[in-house]
């Protein structure tokens, strides 16, 4: 489901007590005047954000009048950043007019970069002038300079979506934005303005689909016969709750789904004469109901049971719940109370034993979330019983076991899909696309950092994690990603040791670490690429590179702030230049969507194609990890021999 965001311009008439006969500019001026004074900005911005959260939103489109690039000081921006964090609100777009010259546009870009706002949605005079007259927001006047527009967007890693007014048709919009630089320049469709212009919203969305950067979902009433004295209403732009007007919102939502739009959808409604909050709440419910109604379970769902209901199980169940292709049948844990608690919260029945799960013919697939050392036994039993398996990492602790499981899956004609799946994230797929597109030239050197701190400070059961060590527990993430991107590793040299052997659990129980808790490895890939991978359960949040990854090539370098966060910043720079942010290929999931591997497995089964997280690939990664530990022990280089089929990029990152 797309992110639903609250458009803060919905409050355009608020500072006028909802009496705005003078139209948009009257509300715009009053709002700027109200928010601009630094002394009261924090308190007023805080109150507005609290109202947005109270309406059930966790994302907002920040209208420029609430924090305008022409008056926002560093203090304003710092206050806004802290308040957005306090309310856990993500800004999905900056909305408004972004000036008529380069310094003004740069100021807007700087503000967006400071607040991690990915999209500017509105107008700018840097585009060539509109052919149509009557732009009510006077966004189009200025000094056209498309080259500067593009250069600034690229420099700040931003995307610009041009909003459709005063233009009356998609053709006029496409003419205005031009056919090039499609990665950074596109359209922010306002469905309400197409309604006012008498253009069919569905037809507009279809025509503009390849250039969609953002959506302002808005409904408008039919034009009134008599004049009211309210400028916007008399112009035929009387906004209303979604579904109550002439736009055909339901059909627009269906079209957005059909054209594969994955970005945020802003709920917009700016009445001149009343507070829109009740309507906005109803509109949000309308869109959510429409999403639910469109979710038709595929004829064949993948019915799954969870085995192992510990720390990560809740994240899986939450991630998988919205996907109709998967159906949770129940759960089993060695500790029955955990399975009880899990099923109470997420549904399904409690299976008393693993055998009971395997004897249930309704279960197609086991999602194995047991602790590391149980994986081989659980996976073996599941495959032997004819079940598909998606397993948490690592698939096994030795290459021999991993290979045996991959072979067993083939023999049984069952799928074995293996975490980690973080390389399927939007940021990670963006980075891979840069590499595949040749932006870096030939990549020759990688630095990957895994400074995973001290698990005992947060995990209630840290012993198994220390037993397997940071390589098997966490380095497995970047190793899976690097081998997906660059193919097989052929030689490993590593050094490390136990740097802090005596530790205590959160409950104060002492235990001794025997597997190296710090090591660094040099991997030599078949392609000739070299990677230095450092993994630690000692160094933590104070490191500048807790989970970073750099790829250096002949022509340029890319920097991924996090190999695990799907919304990580991705930066690229040509050799000798500064690395600047790159727009992600699509709207990212915020954080780690652990369930994405199980969804990929269900989709692959339905589409009768190989799944992306294959067991041979996972086994190759286990061979590398074993080689790292052997090299640490022996001080010698270790050869790696296994092969695996190259996985494909995600379809939306091709
Ligand atoms: N915790 C995280 O943040 C995290 C993140 C990503 C991946 N993982 C992976 O997920 C897996 C589980 O980690 P966790 O943190 O949830 O561990 P956990 O210790 O919190 O939970 C594991 C659960 O599995 C159960 N279990 C163990 N052996 C079993 C068996 N043979 N049959 C049935 N149940 C069994 C345990 O009773 C426990 O409830 C591990 O492979 C880990 O690498 C964990």
Peptide bond into 420 cis (omega under 30): yes
Tokens for 488?
């097989």
Contact 123, 98 (CB under 8 A): yes
- CATH number of 444's domain: 3.30.360.10
What pLDDT, on the 0 to 100 scale, is given for residue 297? 66
For the chain, the straight-line distance linking the first and the last C-alpha, in angstroms and rounded, comes to 21
What pLDDT, on the 0 to 100 scale, is given for residue 608? 92
Are residues 327 and 278 part of one domain? no
Residue among 305, 307, 311, 461 whose CB has most ligand 1 atoms within 8 A, to mutate: 311
For 352, the 3-state DSSP assignment is coil
Are residues 554 and 484 part of one domain? yes
Q: How far apart are CA 216 and CA 84, in angstroms?
A: 21
Q: Which of 252, 269, 291 is the last residue of a domain?
A: 291
Ligand 1 center to residue 345 CA distance, Å?
18
| Alpha carbon 448 to chain centroid, angstroms | 21
Q: Is residue 525 part of a domain?
A: yes
- Which stretches of 413-516 are DSSP H helices? 426-436, 463-470, 476-486
Strand order in the sheet with 530-536: 580-581, 570-574, 556-560, 549-553, 443-451, 530-536, 518-525, 489-497, 638-639
Task: Find the domain containing 344 and state its range.
Answer: 302-418
Tokens for 494?
């590593």
Paired with 518 in beta bridges are: 497, 536
Phi, psi of 553 (to 5 degrees): -125, 180
Q: For residue 648, give the H/E element and its range.
A: none
- CATH number of 361's domain: 3.40.50.720
Closest-lying ligand 1 atom to the alpha carbon of residue 460: 20
Residue among 305, 306, 309, 312 whose CB has most ligand 1 atoms within 8 A, to mutate: 312
Query: Average per-residue pLDDT in the chain?
Result: 94
pTM of the model: 0.79
- Measured from the Cβ of residue 297, the count of other Cβ atoms closer than 10 Å reads 11
Peptide bond into 273 cis (omega under 30): no
What pLDDT, on the 0 to 100 scale, is given for residue 296? 65
Paired with 306 in beta bridges are: 331, 367
For the segment 176-216, what is each residue's pLDDT rounded down to a tens digit? 999 999 989 999 999 999 999 999 999 999 999 999 999 99
**E strands of 22-86, at which residues?**
59-63
Q: How far apart are CA 459 and CA 399, in angstroms?
A: 27
Are residues 156 and 24 part of one domain? yes
Widest CA span of the chain, in angstroms?
Answer: 89
Tokens for 15?
């500072």
DSSP 227-273: --S-HHHHTT--EESTTSSSS-HHHHHHHHHHTT--S-EEE----SS
Return the residue whose CA atom lies nearest to atom 25 of ligand 1: 308
Q: How far apart are CA 21 and CA 470, in angstroms?
A: 64
355 C-beta closer than 6 A to ligand 1: no
Once rounded to an integer, what is the mean pLDDT over residues 27-49? Answer: 98
* Burial class for 154, CB neighbours closer than 10 Å (0-12, 13-18, 19+): middle
Are residues 519 and 452 part of one domain? yes
Are residues 428 and 414 part of one domain? no
- CATH number of 51's domain: 3.20.20.150
Ligand 1 center to residue 313 CA distance, Å?
8
Q: Is residue 594 part of a domain?
A: no
Say which residue the tokens 């992600």 belong to: 584
Say which residue the tokens 């802090």 belong to: 500
What pLDDT, on the 0 to 100 scale, is given for residue 587? 83
Kindly list the distances between the CA atom of residue 281 and the CA atoms of 10, 238, 291, in Å, as whole numbers in the listed order: 12, 18, 16
Q: Is residue 187 part of a domain?
A: yes
For the segment 313-343, what is each residue's pLDDT rounded down to a tens digit? 999 999 999 888 899 999 999 999 999 999 9
Ligand 1 center to residue 113 CA distance, Å?
38
Sorting pLDDT into bands at 50, 70 and 90, what band is 131? low
Q: Which of 418, 450, 482 is the last residue of a domain?
A: 418
379 C-beta closer than 6 A to ligand 1: no
Q: Is residue 474 part of a domain?
A: yes
Tokens for 566?
């799907």
Nearest alpha carbon to residue 420 among 382, 475, 486? 475
Residues 595, 600, 603, 605, CA torsion sign:
negative
- Measured from the Cβ of residue 554, the count of other Cβ atoms closer than 10 Å reads 10
Ligand 1 center to residue 392 CA distance, Å?
8
Phi, psi of 575 (to 5 degrees): -55, 130
Domain count, the chain: 3
**E strands of 36-167, at which residues?**
59-63, 90-97, 119-123, 159-163
Return the residue whose CA atom lies nearest to atom 4 of ligand 1: 312
Residues constituting the chain: 654
Are residues 555 and 411 part of one domain? no
Are residues 405 and 359 part of one domain? yes
Q: Is residue 296 part of a domain?
A: no
Sorting pLDDT into bands at 50, 70 and 90, what band is 136? very low
Are residues 481 and 467 part of one domain? yes
Is 50 exceeded by the pLDDT of residue 436?
yes
Which has the higher per-residue pLDDT, 528 or 545? Answer: 528
What pLDDT, on the 0 to 100 scale, is given for residue 541? 79
Residues 14, 15, 18, 23, CA torsion sign:
negative
**E strands of 16-71, at which residues?**
59-63
Is 70 exceeded by the pLDDT of residue 137?
no
Is 90 exceeded by the pLDDT of residue 473?
yes
Is 70 exceeded by the pLDDT of residue 132?
no
Ligand 1 center to residue 544 CA distance, Å?
29
Once rounded to an integer, what is the mean pLDDT over residues 21-47? Answer: 98
Paired with 189 in beta bridges are: 215
Are residues 358 and 440 part of one domain? no
For the segment 587-609, what is each residue's pLDDT rounded down to a tens digit? 888 889 999 999 999 999 999 99
Q: Is residue 189 part of a domain?
A: yes
158 C-beta closer than 6 A to ligand 1: no
For the segment 615-653, what is each residue's pLDDT rounded down to a tens digit? 999 999 999 999 999 999 999 999 999 999 999 999 999
DSSP for residue 411: H
Percent of all residues in the chain with a pLDDT value above 70, rounded to a whole number: 97
What pLDDT, on the 0 to 100 scale, is given for residue 134? 47
Q: Is residue 592 part of a domain?
A: no
Is 90 exceeded by the pLDDT of residue 281?
yes
Contact 279, 241 (CB under 8 A): yes
Are residues 427 and 547 part of one domain? yes
What pLDDT, on the 0 to 100 scale, is given for residue 452? 94
Closest-lying ligand 1 atom to the alpha carbon of residue 310: 21
Ligand 1 center to residue 371 CA distance, Å?
4
Q: How far apart are CA 632 and CA 610, in angstroms?
A: 35
Q: Which of 253, 271, 291 is the last residue of a domain?
A: 291
Q: How far apart are CA 334 and CA 338, in angstroms?
A: 8
Are residues 226 and 138 part of one domain? yes
Q: Is residue 173 part of a domain?
A: yes
Are residues 50 and 38 part of one domain? yes
Ligand 1 center to residue 172 CA distance, Å?
56
Q: How far apart are CA 208 and CA 216, in angstroms?
A: 14
């Amino acid at each position: 489901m797309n992110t639903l965001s609250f458009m803060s311009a919905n409050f355009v008439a608020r500072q006028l007590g909802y009496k705005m006969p003078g139209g948009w500019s009257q509300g715009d001026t009053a709002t700027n005047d109200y928010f601009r004074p630094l002394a009261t900005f924090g308190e007023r911005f805080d109150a507005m954000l609290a109202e947005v959260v109270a309406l059930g939103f966790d994302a907002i489109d920040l209208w420029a009048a609430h924090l305008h690039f022409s008056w926002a000081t560093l203090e304003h921006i710092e206050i806004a950043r802290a308040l957005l964090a306090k309310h856990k609100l993500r800004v999905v777009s900056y909305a408004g007019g972004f000036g008529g010259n380069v310094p003004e546009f740069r100021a807007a870009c700087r503000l967006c970069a400071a607040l991690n706002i990915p999209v500017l949605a509105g107008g700018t005079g840097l585009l060539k002038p509109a052919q149509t007259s009557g732009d009510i927001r006077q966004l189009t006047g200025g000094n056209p300079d498309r080259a500067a527009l593009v250069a600034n967007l690229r420099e700040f890693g931003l995307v610009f979506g041009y909003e459709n007014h005063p233009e009356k048709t998609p053709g006029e919009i496409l003419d205005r934005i031009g056919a090039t630089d499609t990665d950074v320049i596109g359209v922010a469709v306002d469905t309400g303005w197409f309604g006012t212009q008498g253009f069919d919203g569905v037809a507009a969305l279809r025509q503009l689909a390849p250039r969609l950067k953002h959506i302002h979902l808005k409904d408008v009433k039919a034009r009134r016969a008599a004049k009211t004295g309210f400028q916007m209403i008399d112009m035929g732009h009387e906004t209303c709750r979604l579904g109550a007007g002439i736009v055909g919102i339901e059909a627009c939502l269906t079209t957005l789904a059909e054209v594969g739009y994955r970005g945020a959808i802003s709920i917009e409604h700016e009445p001149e004469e009343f507070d829109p909050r009740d309507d906005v709440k109803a509109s949000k419910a309308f869109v959510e109901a429409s999403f639910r109604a469109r979710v038709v379970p595929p004829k064949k769902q993948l019915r799954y049971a969870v085995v192992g209901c510990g720390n990560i199980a809740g994240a899986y169940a939450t991630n998988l719940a919205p996907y109709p292709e998967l159906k949770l049948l129940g759960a089993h844990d060695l500790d029955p109370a955990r399975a009880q608690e899990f099923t109470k919260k997420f549904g399904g029945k409690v299976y008393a034993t693993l055998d009971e799960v395997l004897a249930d013919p309704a279960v197609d697939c086991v999602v194995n979330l047991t602790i590391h050392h149980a994986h081989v036994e659980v996976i073996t039993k599941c495959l032997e019983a004819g079940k598909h398996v998606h397993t948490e990492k690592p698939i096994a602790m030795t290459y021999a076991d991993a290979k045996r499981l991959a072979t067993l899956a083939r023999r049984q004609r069952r799928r074995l899909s293996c975490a980690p799946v973080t390389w399927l994230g939007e940021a990670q797929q963006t980075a891979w696309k840069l590499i595949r597109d040749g932006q870096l030239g030939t990549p020759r050197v990688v630095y990957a950092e895994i400074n995973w701190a001290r698990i005992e400070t947060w995990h209630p059961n840290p012993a198994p994690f220390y037993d397997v060590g940071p390589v098997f527990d966490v380095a497995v993430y970047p190793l899976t990603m690097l081998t997906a991107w660059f193919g097989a590793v052929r030689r490993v040299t590593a050094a490390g040791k136990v740097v802090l052997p005596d530790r205590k659990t959160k409950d104060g129980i002492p235990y001794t670490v025997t597997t190296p808790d710090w090591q660094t490895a040099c991997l030599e890939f078949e392609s000739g690429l070299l990677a230095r991978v450092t993994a630690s359960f000692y160094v933590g949040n104070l490191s500048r590179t807790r989970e970073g990854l750099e790829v250096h090539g002949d022509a340029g370098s890319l920097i991924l702030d996090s190999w695990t966060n799907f919304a990580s910043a991705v930066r690229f720079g040509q050799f000798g230049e500064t690395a600047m942010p790159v727009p992600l290929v699509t709207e990212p999931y915020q954080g780690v969507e652990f369930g994405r591997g199980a969804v990929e497995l269900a989709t692959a089964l339905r589409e009768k194609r190989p799944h992306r997280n294959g067991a041979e690939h996972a086994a190759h990664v286990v061979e590398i990890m074993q080689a790292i530990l052997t090299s640490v022990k022996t001080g010698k280089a270790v050869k790696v021999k296994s092969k695996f089929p190259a996985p494909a990029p995600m379809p939306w990152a091709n």
